Amino acid sequence: MRARPVIAILLASAASWAAFELTSLPGPGLDPDAMSYLGAAQSLAAGQGLRIPAAPWHAAASTAPLAHFPPGYPVLIAAGIRAGFTPVESARVIMALAAAVTAVGTLIALWSAWSAVGGVMAVLLLLVTPAMTVVHASVLSEPLFLALMALFLCALMRARRDAVRTWAIGTLAAAAVMVRYAGAALVLAAVLDAWLSDEPVKTRVQRMLAVAAVPVLAMAAWTLTRVRDPATESIRTSAVYLSHWDRTITEGVTTARIWLAPGVESLPLATALALTAVAVLVALTVRSARIERTTEALRRGGALIRATALVGWSYVGVLLVSRLFADGEIPLDERLLAPLGLTMTIGASQMITEWIRGGHAWRSVFVTALAVGWMLGASVPTRTWLEEYRGDGGDLASTRWRVSGLVRYARTHGDTLYSNEMSSLWFHSGRAVHELPMRPDAATIAAFRAKLVRENGALLAWEFGDTEHAAVDALVQGAGLAPVMHDSTGTVWKVP
């Protein structure tokens, strides 16, 4: 028992140091989401509310209210800014602390089920998982979400169904929703946990309502109080997205194959290894369901496996429903599936530990060899990501964005700016930028040109920006713009 705090501190320190070191210069990685998090936090810390440094092309102001993300992560970054950190440093500290919490939560969940070795092994596996490197290398909300998920699993496996457990589960689910809207999966898991208990129906319904109350109230408060701007365009349209499901499923299968057989270049071999791993997981699950959990240790192990199953399937359900009704372009990539990887790692570690204890010593040797082999394989793609982030930053933090003539122009000219990549300009010049019309027709082009004239505005067109070149070319040609600066990264256009 005395070893628990020491091991927990060591693993937490290792995870925290790794995350903080990963995001040091030239990092952390930056992408358009980071602009919303950091910009809204900086605005909030300055007393101007949650506003992002970007706006639609037709808006008068160059900033807009935070609309596409919940406020939890920006609020925490703002607290760090008020404490004296820069926005990026505040985000780095939060992500490092979140990594420590994820490690400790994983260890506690498995150790409380009498699986000390399994807990340590699960944390080590997570440390070298490529998906964990990806989400902890950039300014993203995922590290904080993963930390809340690990704590949620610890609370959900608690045997005694009392008010403390209900309050803890509801509060953690609410915090997760305020960090990422995908946190609705934890709310769903909490409700299912209450309904699937063996208590009377009346008691189950009461617990369902109680556990959902805090997240529902938190979401309602955010929805009703957040600032709305009529100029802000929605990035998602509610509909039924039935097309391209083959592409979505294929991407999810590819992500799973890379996780289960990391570092294996041969597609047939990787597929065979991944299918074998799936078969083993299914067999372990069936075995776990048949175990008579007569001792306290076995009951705690069963509670942990049940908790990971509830959270994992709830997360998959929320993703698929969102893909069907909210956004037909939701990718099942490593970043989006990282929370599922966390729950699967914890649940599989518990089931493997129970299998080891039920047999001869050779099982321990066999599992250890497999774990070491998997970590060696995972180190190959992880090392690739590390070289990218530690060599030249990540995404919009890389050199081609930092040293661009477009950034120098934004720093030295007071024009109202429009661009096909707004985030990079704000990251490296501090200038808020308007987006471009996505589908410019004749009327839109005329209105855009008139606005450029009124504001003495400039269009900063990156050669590798998000908006399609066809849209930029249509604006430039239709509005009769002339180049005033050009280099290998892009061109600055103005009305002659």
Top pLDDT among 227 and 173 is at 173
Q: 176: closest CA among 209, 153, 204, 206?
A: 153
**Position 3 pLDDT exceeds 80:** no
Cα of 4 vs its chain's centroid, Å: 29
pLDDT at 239: 80
**Position 337 pLDDT exceeds 80:** yes
Name the pLDDT band for 237 (thresholds 50, 70, 90).
low
Name the pLDDT band for 178 (thresholds 50, 70, 90).
very high
pLDDT at 467: 56
Name the pLDDT band for 326 (thresholds 50, 70, 90).
confident
pLDDT at 1: 55
**C-alpha span between 166 and 190 (Å, rounded):** 9
Q: Phi/psi of residue 141, each to 5°? A: -85, -10
Mean pLDDT of 421-439: 93
Task: Output the pTM of the full model.
Answer: 0.95
- Please give the full DSSP string across 256-307, using - where no structure is assigned: HHHHHSTT---HHHHHHHHHHHHHHHHHHHHHHHH----SHHHHHHHHHHHH
Share of the chain above pLDDT 90, in %: 77
**C-alpha span between 89 and 97 (Å, rounded):** 12
Share of the chain above pLDDT 70, in %: 96
* Domains of the chain by residue range: 3-231+239-392, 399-494
**In the Cβ-directed half-sphere of 39, how many Cα atoms lie within 13 Å?**
31
List pLDDT tens digits, range 101-140.
999 999 999 988 766 788 899 999 999 999 999 999 999 9
**C-alpha span between 289 and 24 (Å, rounded):** 45
**C-alpha span between 208 and 241 (Å, rounded):** 30
**Position 231 pLDDT exceeds 70:** no
pLDDT at 465: 66
List pLDDT tens digits, range 456-482.
999 999 987 665 666 899 999 999 999
List pLDDT tens digits, range 187-220.
999 999 999 998 999 999 999 999 999 999 999 9
- Please give the full DSSP string across 453-469, using - where no structure is assigned: HHHT-EEEEETT-SS-H
By DSSP bridging, strand 433-434 and strand 64-65 are unpaired
pLDDT at 13: 95
List the single range of 115-119, 343-347, 387-391, 441-445 with lowest mean pLDDT: 115-119
